[in-house]
Amino acid sequence: MRTTFALAAIFVLSLGTTAHAQGVYKSVGPDGKVTYSDQPPSDKAARIDGGVAPVAPQAGTSATEPATSRSTGAKKALAKSQPVAESTPAIQPVDPALESAIIGVLGYEDLVMRAEQICTRVLPTSYQRYGGAADSWKARNGPLVAQARRALTDTANATARQLIEAGIRNKNAGLLAQVEGAPAASRITWCDRSFDEIAKGVMDAQNNPKFMTPLANYRAR
């Protein structure tokens, strides 16, 4: 990536590398209680698809022993040890389209704010131009950003939210590192092009149906 690439091109690269935000799990217990985590459950009987993991062979039997050679008592003991389907928590990932929309919108917001910081440092005399474009972006996209934050709060616990937000910040910081390390003249050129895009709405999250549709359809649980 050259520093001649403006902000929209950088964000396209960011969208292809958002694996840091995957893996937020929702568990529904037998009593209907819902809990969220960024880690799969430790219960080996509950798989990601809500199925039941194989039960270890009973003492005195072999994992490779044909079922027909087992005694009736051993078969009954094995059946009793099998978890009841109703008592196994149902584990499922958060809707991928919604998660992608949340990450996308918050990623746009973070990039615009970072660009404003970079550009006002390199060319303080243009702070009104850069700051004005960033403020206009916030005004246009504020409702969608607020909806993304509500959805994130509803669908992820504190640990998972921190993981997702830190992942966005770290990824964008890495993508913009080359810009920050470029000569001042190159940074100014990059800033002028990027804020032209921002002012024209190229970086508006509200114009992206992949973000708008899942968030518009989202209803708090």
- Gap between the Cα atoms of 8 and 208, Å rounded: 12
- Gap between the Cα atoms of 216 and 105, Å rounded: 13
pLDDT digits (tens, 9 = 90+) for 192-212: 999 999 999 988 998 899 999
Question: Is the Cα torsion angle 184, 185, 186, 187 positive or negative in sign?
Answer: positive
pLDDT digits (tens, 9 = 90+) for 83-110: 444 443 344 456 889 999 999 999 999 9
- Gap between the Cα atoms of 5 and 7, Å rounded: 7
**Tally of CA atoms within 13 A in the half-sphere of 193 that contains its CB:** 15
In Å, how far are 32, 89, 93, 167, 172 from 24, measured between CA atoms? 19, 15, 6, 13, 21
